Amino acid sequence: MTTRQAIPEGLAEIPPGPQLSAVLAGIDPSRLSGYDCVLVMQARCRQVSHERAHLMTAMVEVGLCDMGPDDELPRRAVPDEFAADEIRAALVWTRRAAETQFGLAYDLITRLPAVHAALDAGLLDEPRARIFSDWTAELSRDHARALCDALLSRAGEVTTGELVDLIKKHAIALDPEWARHRYEQALADRKVVGRRNPDGTANLSGYNLPVDRVAAASARIDTLAKAAKHAGDARPIDHIRAELYLGMTDGTYTGLDDPTILAVLRATAATEPTGGGPVDNGDGPADDSGDDSGDGGPPGDGGGGDGGPPGDGGGGDGGPPGPVSGPTAGGSPHSTGLELRLRLSTLLGRDDYPGELAGWGPVHADLARDLATTLTRAQWHYAITDDQGRLLCCGITRARPAGTSHRGAGRCGGIVELDVPATTLASLTGEDRDHLGPWPAIVADLVRQSGDHDTRPGDRFAGDADRRGPGAALHRHVKIRDRFCTFRGCRAPARGTDTDHTVDHHNGGASTEHNLGGTCRHDHRVKHEGGWKLCQPQLGLFVWTSRLGLTYTVRPPPVIEPLTDPLPRDGPLYPIWVRPDDDWQDSTILDDPEPEPEPEPEPQPVPAHDPDDVPPPF
């Protein structure tokens, strides 16, 4: 029987370096408990990051070493074209690998030294360090360093995807005009490309497209595909999405409303060779098409889980809608399914902080304002926060910009969320309407509703406590508060998650904001079937305990995140460049690469004698 080995006390506090390396060398992972295995894995990761930082330092020195007497230690001021070739030869790497790794090392050591120091200290790993390098490459040195100073302390506590989004938000906040210019320059190079695959299939892709229209198109295809699955289509959902994508671009669905498109899909499924394949059981976020009384989560929390209600009752607030009757019903033809979040101050033009398309990331302020003006028939939510950006109260506003109407709000499936600190909202009270542009009705309604929240006695959600699932207002409050699934590092937007009782309802858990949180379908199953436990010791603070006994604390991000203030730009922006279009008549979507040249035939061996000669018999 193997004897358990105890790990040194305080292993998590030993900084990476020779001491930690020596300690780890004496540990046999096969003799550790599961709990201790995790601690050793984390320590190994810190040590690896430390070693990678030192390897980068060595690479940069190798790349800068110059020819000359060794005693003089000759170094180049900057690397030349051949700087990575010594690394390439010494480590037997490809040229691309050597140049890429040397480029990262040189960039961190010279342009982003704070990131290299954090890597050396084991505070972040190489993938995160590379993200800082890649995603700040277009920023000036001062802007890049200011961004790193703002985010390095958080980098080790967020996933790489979260880190990318944080960098984008801060980059937009640092220089809003640059962010808008960069986006518009990319749009100027938008295109559709078709490519053939070696197996005979083909790809059809759009590049550099407007993010709002891609988000809306994706939501529409996804909504229709899930409606088809609910109607009994047995094909994998990816196959259905692909069929919808082609049908919407090749003319198959021209002039058809959504119910007719679904009927065509059913007919296609009946004739498709793979139509009778296994049913895709989906492991993503719960569908929101149920009613207020249902809880369609996994078993274990009574009844069938904690899938939240899709609607807001009389308020008309809901999850992604089912198919609508017509391709443009409910507003703009490309607004379906969008969830736009922006600060009220940004909407009013008082600042240029980025907005966000939920699930798609940050957008520059001008685009966020433009989208808000096209989404007047979406559901408009508001979220009032404290000065730290944490949610105080939220609700729905039916006010709209001057000259528009909210009639039919929600039918397009979109949501606009206006975020505002209570102190900012109070400062707008009584402000001259002429200073509010087209938005005075919205400001007035938010001020009025904020006052109603402040004067309302008792718990505004008290009536929900004994219900099986939360009412519409509480459901909305929890989703806005949590922003994402409450499992550590999960990026599933809260809007599409199950509304889970922290203490299961069948075990006496109440439907209150202190006992509810959003979890995606996978992480809901982690809790009910995967052996993990969840508690909420404070409002909105989630503590997950793994089956190995470790705890992971998750506090959802604030509704309004603190962002870096704008900094002056070094120089002017270049004009938008549009690719010349003189040869448009000869242009095609099919982008076939040049065929590889036929290989030269291998030389045949020269025979020792002429094969036509018959050798003599003697």
* Beta bridge mates, 382: 395, 418
In terms of pLDDT, which residue wins out, 402 or 566? 566
Query: Is the pLDDT score of 63 beyond 60?
Result: yes
Average pLDDT over residues 184-213: 95
Quote the tokens at residue 512: 């209150």
pLDDT (tens digit, 9 = 90+) per residue, 155-176? 999 999 999 999 999 999 999 9
Rounded Cα–Cα distance for residues 272 and 67 (Å): 68
Q: Which DSSP letter does residue 330 get?
A: T
The bridge status of strand 191-196 relative to strand 361-363 is: unpaired
Rounded Cα–Cα distance for residues 508 and 515 (Å): 11
Average pLDDT over residues 519-523: 97
The bridge status of strand 379-385 relative to strand 415-421 is: parallel
Work out the number of other CB atoms within 10 angstroms of the CB of residue 82.
9
Closest CA to 121 of 193, 20, 197, 206: 20
First to last CA, the chain: 78
For every residue of 374-430, DSSP letters joined together read H-TTSEEEEEEE-TTS-EEEEEE-----TT---TTTTTT--EEEEEEEHHHHHHHTT
Using 50, 70 and 90 to split pLDDT, how confident is the model at 587? confident
Query: Is the pLDDT score of 418 beyond 60?
Result: yes
Helix (H, G, I), strand (E, B) or coil at 138: coil
- For residue 593, the model assigns a pLDDT of 64
pTM: 0.80
Average model confidence (pLDDT) for the chain? 85
List all residues 6 or more positions away from 353 whose beta carbon is below 8 Å from its beta carbon: 172, 173, 176, 342, 343, 345, 346, 365, 563
- For residue 551, the model assigns a pLDDT of 97
Average pLDDT over residues 345-358: 96
Least confident residue range of 107-121, 227-241, 362-376, 404-418? 404-418
230 with 290: CB under 8 angstroms?
no
- Residue % of the chain over a pLDDT of 90: 70
Work out the number of other CB atoms within 10 angstroms of the CB of residue 110.
13
User: In terms of C-beta density within 10 A (0-12 exposed, 13-18 middle, 19 or more buried), how is residue 5 classed?
Assistant: middle
For every residue of 503-551, DSSP letters joined together read S-GGGT--SSGGGEEEE-HHHHHHHHHSS-EEEEEETTEEEEE-TTS-E
Q: Which DSSP letter does residue 254 get?
A: T
Q: Which residue carries 């550099």 as its tokens? A: 208
- For residue 362, the model assigns a pLDDT of 95
Rounded Cα–Cα distance for residues 407 and 399 (Å): 10
Query: Cα dist. 74→68, 92, 293 in Å?
Result: 6, 25, 76
Query: Cα dist. 470→208, 286, 309, 417, 488 in Å?
Result: 41, 16, 7, 21, 24
Query: Is the pLDDT score of 345 beyond 50?
Result: yes
Q: Which DSSP letter does residue 336 get?
A: T
* Type of residue found at 390: R
- For residue 335, the model assigns a pLDDT of 54
229 with 269: CB under 8 angstroms?
no
Average pLDDT over residues 501-516: 94
Query: Is the pLDDT score of 302 beyond 90?
Result: no
Query: Is the pLDDT score of 606 beyond 80?
Result: no
List all residues 6 or more positions away from 528 whose beta carbon is below 8 Å from its beta carbon: 297, 298, 299, 300, 301, 305
Using 50, 70 and 90 to split pLDDT, how confident is the model at 7? very high
pLDDT (tens digit, 9 = 90+) per residue, 247-277? 999 999 999 999 999 999 998 887 776 544 4
Q: Which DSSP letter does residue 65 get?
A: B
Average pLDDT over residues 562-567: 92
